[in-house]
Structure 1
């Protein structure tokens, strides 16, 4: 296999460091090829007689499967933990369920461990570690012969230290053993250059009881804390406009590359079904939905990866490490506004293929945080997150995951029981007009059960617009002048 230059350099750096240390941390931008690089490294160590087995841990089952396949290809052996296997590939979630049969391997064999997206695992010791970090610290850190930790976003939003990572005592900066950023990757033609379109509107009206307010942009609206962003992404007109713009670009790409695909990132399961319905009504297209509700989610992703289907809608299942290289357009309708998630999603459209057109487009509302991330996309670590704080906790902290309103119910025929949006549109079409062999008949719940969730109503009268501005290091970012002016007004530092 012919490796990319960065992959060969990273492997040489790892081999060199293993002469004096067990652990190696590699930062490579999403889409650069970390899976292949670490699999080749594992085979090299095995051929040199340095290791006996390989274990891999990653954040999702689809990524774990991809690692298993990559290792199997390199070793020409299976990696499923069965008799004759040279290892296995697990999710981090499985750490708590692994029995002593797995942990005894570290006592009997020389084990090489691959940790994908290591930033999910926190802790320098038991006191400041999360559940996944504890298993690494207590079981694998000392017993593994060698490890390689991989990440495309080497920081945590809670500022806790990443497991197995070293930090500078004076500055708190993370110390990566090898760095391959997005600027380098696009320059080397390893990753596509991301082009970002932020849609805005200059005539927004919010009615609350007898009070009416007017806003000239989404940034203006959000600065007043009247309607949260999580509700804006559920408005039909916002969804329609993002879908129309995204679909136009995807159609354009598919005239050159018929396999080009689009990813729509939804906020909840209910939101995903709402988007699918609007996509069908507005554009006439259907989409594959992949959420935690689908028991065969991994099979749906694999099927879409190799198909000619146009759109796939995901709620959190196509983000870190999920490999669908034909994705070239992303419509970002998630309510998640963290920079880590934003960059990981963007990484899904950056993988280079042999197709003739290698453009990549991300469409999103002009929300101030997302716009700021777009300007910083050429950086590898955000300034305000580059440092970590070390804290010793006297007791475990348990957090709850709360579901989004309206996301819990799904009817027996597979459609959501309710769709909650905050827009005064009750009729969304006749079910007789919305049938095809993919979508199936629309049941009564999708025809009329669009419920107003609050007494605030947002109406959008203006035109959705954007203009082009230059970004250092990349081609262009597209965003409205009004949004840019508002960002400057609120003191957002863009450069």
Structure 2
């Protein structure tokens, strides 16, 4: 059954295609059901005999597997490219290796082509990637209709996205339909995210500077040569973050026994260390998925349906991987772009049938991650120079800044941090002065950012 936004968008796609316009660009927040929408459009085009075949492209094999399953089920036929199949899904990387016979076949049939997470494909520059150039040069000209989709339609390198249109001279992205996180939360399509930012009073020792004390991780990272990696890989800090996350997952599983957690690690060695901590320190069931493991896609598929508590990954479950039972995530990767942060957060936002629909992301209070967390309630970040957002015709509430210890409330203007509610709570543990080279961690504390909640909903 189509959701309201999917029904509305499908009708707009049909109208545009039947008005002799062959391309449609959809921006829909991660977890909202873009793949099902694309399958519905394909079904309508097949039923109206406008196309013969369907071809999908996606950024990774795991995403292709999800698309294949959705299209096969919704279209009621095989979607593996074999005999009698109505279509197939390929990775973007595969485009450059397709044979001449493939392109000849494409030219003989009326083909509907779907590009999932199209922001992976850049164009219009010598630095553009190969598959972006191949899409513009070969695929688009041979396809009867194209549908480009993205949950995060911008690139960290700021190159133009293939198949996208931009205003001139502002360079703002023009989309045909937008379904943002604000709408998805209001419609009950996505969970309301809560982001926990863990901070610490840090002591740094060095031969030249002696002993220095810092009130926060942000200050330490700014005023010393220590890298963020030294924080995410420090055992004391890592244990504390995992402890918070395990407690939260345990509480959720009391209502939803099948709920799971995801840890996004910085390296394979880091992932192995995290898995060991989860097993030995916190008595958790866990599996690891990295490029070094055999059959990683089968491991992900197994985790999707089993009852393990945690899956630890190095960049393999950051985008497009549909595991609705994920409700807790630890972001301890050294990749700190806003694009990646939002993609990781999207893994825990998809609503399912479980009684508890909380979504919690745990990370450290590094400057950029704090900024990204505060901007989550903005569907598209203001820092993105290539994207424009339709203005919302409604008055949004101020932020309530809550000091749980002193029970005081201070109203802040919406433009300062975004809209919604930002609440702070602290958890103080005994000092644990274990040295990591020249770093010692003292009192941990954290703040919880709650978005899309009115003042009256504060606990």
Report TM bin, short chain: 0.7 to 0.9
Residue 168 of structure 1: aligned partner = 167
User: Equivalent residue for 1:29?
Assistant: 29
| SS of aligned partner of 1:283 | coil
User: Which residue is 1:418 aligned to?
Assistant: none
CA contact (8 A) 2:373 2:449 kept: no
Q: Secondary structure at the match of 1:264?
A: strand
Q: Which residue of 1 aligns with 2:363?
A: 364
Q: Distance in 1 between matches of 2:92 and 2:184?
A: 28
Report the counterpart of residue 94 of structure 1 in structure 2: 94
Q: Is the 8 A contact 2:195 2:450 kept in 1?
A: no
| SS across alignment from 2:307 | coil
1-structure distance, mates of 2:60, 2:169: 35
Instruction: Return the offset for 1:87.
Output: 1.2
Q: How does 1:467-482 map to 2 (within 5 A)?
A: 467=447, 473-474=452-453
CA contact (8 A) 1:424 1:457 kept: no
User: What is the match of residue 229 of structure 2?
Assistant: 230
What corresponds to 1:53 in structure 2?
53
Q: Is the 8 A contact 1:105 1:111 kept in 2?
A: no
The answer on whether the counterparts of 2:434 and 2:441 sit within 8 Å (CA) in structure 1 is no
Q: Give the deviation of 1:280 after TM superposition.
A: 2.2
**Alpha-carbon deviation of 1:467?**
4.3
How far residue 457 of structure 1 moved from its aligned partner, in angstroms, is: 1.8
Q: CA deviation at 1:284?
A: 1.8
Question: Which residue is 2:155 aligned to?
Answer: 156
> Measured at CA, do residues 469 and 277 of structure 1 come closer, stay the same or move farther in structure 2, by a change above 3 Å?
closer
Name the structure 1 match of 2:185.
186
Is the Cα–Cα contact under 8 Å of residues 378 and 474 in structure 1 kept in the other structure? no
Shift, 1:459, TM fit: 0.7
Contact 1:195-1:475 at 8 Å conserved across structures = no
Measured in 1, the distance between the counterparts of 2:449 and 2:178 equals 29
Q: CA deviation at 1:231?
A: 1.9
Deviations 1:299-343 (A, max 9, x none): 000000001110000001101110000000001111110000000
SS in 2 for 1:197: strand
The aligned residue for residue 446 of structure 1 is none
1:128: Cα distance to partner? 5.6
Taking structure 1 as reference, are residues 322 and 87 closer, same or farther at Cα in structure 2, changes over 3 Å only?
same
3-state SS, counterpart of residue 383 of structure 1: coil
Task: Tell me the residue number matched to 1:490.
Answer: none
Residues 1:339 and 1:475: Cα distance change in structure 2 (over 3 Å): farther
Measure the CA separation in 2 of the matches of 1:475 and 1:46: 44
CA distance in 1, matches of 2:168, 2:268: 43
CA distance in 2, matches of 1:131, 1:143: 18
Q: State yes or no: 1:466 paired with 2:446.
A: yes
1:121 aligned residue:
121
Structure 2 counterpart SS, 1:133: helix
1:54/1:112 contact within 8 Å kept: yes
Matches for 1:33-432 after TM superposition, within 5 Å = 33-124=33-124, 127=126, 129-202=128-201, 204-209=202-207, 211-387=210-386
Q: CA RMSD in A?
A: 1.7
- Return the alpha-carbon distance in structure 1 between the equivalents of residues 221 and 113 of structure 2: 45
CA deviations 1:363-384 (Å, max 9, x no partner) are 1111110110011101122222
Work out whether residues 167 and 174 of structure 2, in 8 Å CA contact, stay in contact via their aligned partners in 1: yes
CA deviation string 1:187-236 (max 9, x = no partner)? 0000000001101112x111123522211101111111421112210000
Q: Cα gap change, 1:380/1:293 in structure 2, threshold over 3 Å: closer, same or farther?
A: same
Bigger shift: residues 93-102 or 365-374: 93-102
Q: How big is the shift at 1:100?
A: 1.6
Distance 1:102 1:316 in 2: 31
Cα-to-partner distance string for 1:74-119 (whole Å, 9 max, x where unaligned): 2221112212111111111111221122211221000101100000
Secondary structure at the counterpart of residue 142 of structure 1: helix
Q: Secondary structure at the match of 1:40?
A: helix
TM-score (norm 2): 0.86
Structure 2: state its 5+ residue gaps: 388-432
Counterparts of 1:89 and 1:352, CA distance in 2? 25
Check conservation: 2:195, 2:449, Cα contact below 8 A: no
Residue 2 of structure 2 corresponds to 3
Q: How many residues align?
A: 408
Cα distance, 1:127 vs structure 2:
4.3
Hey, what's the Cα distance between the residues in 2 that align with 1:233 and 1:147?
42
C-alpha contact 2:197 2:448 (8 A) present in aligned 1: no
In structure 2, C-alpha distance between the alignment counterparts of 1:301 and 1:98, rounded to whole Å? 27
Other structure's SS at 1:206 match: strand
Which protein has greater RCO, CA pairs closer than 8 Å, 6+ apart? Answer: 1
Whether the 8 Å CA contact 1:193–1:475 is kept in 2: the answer is no
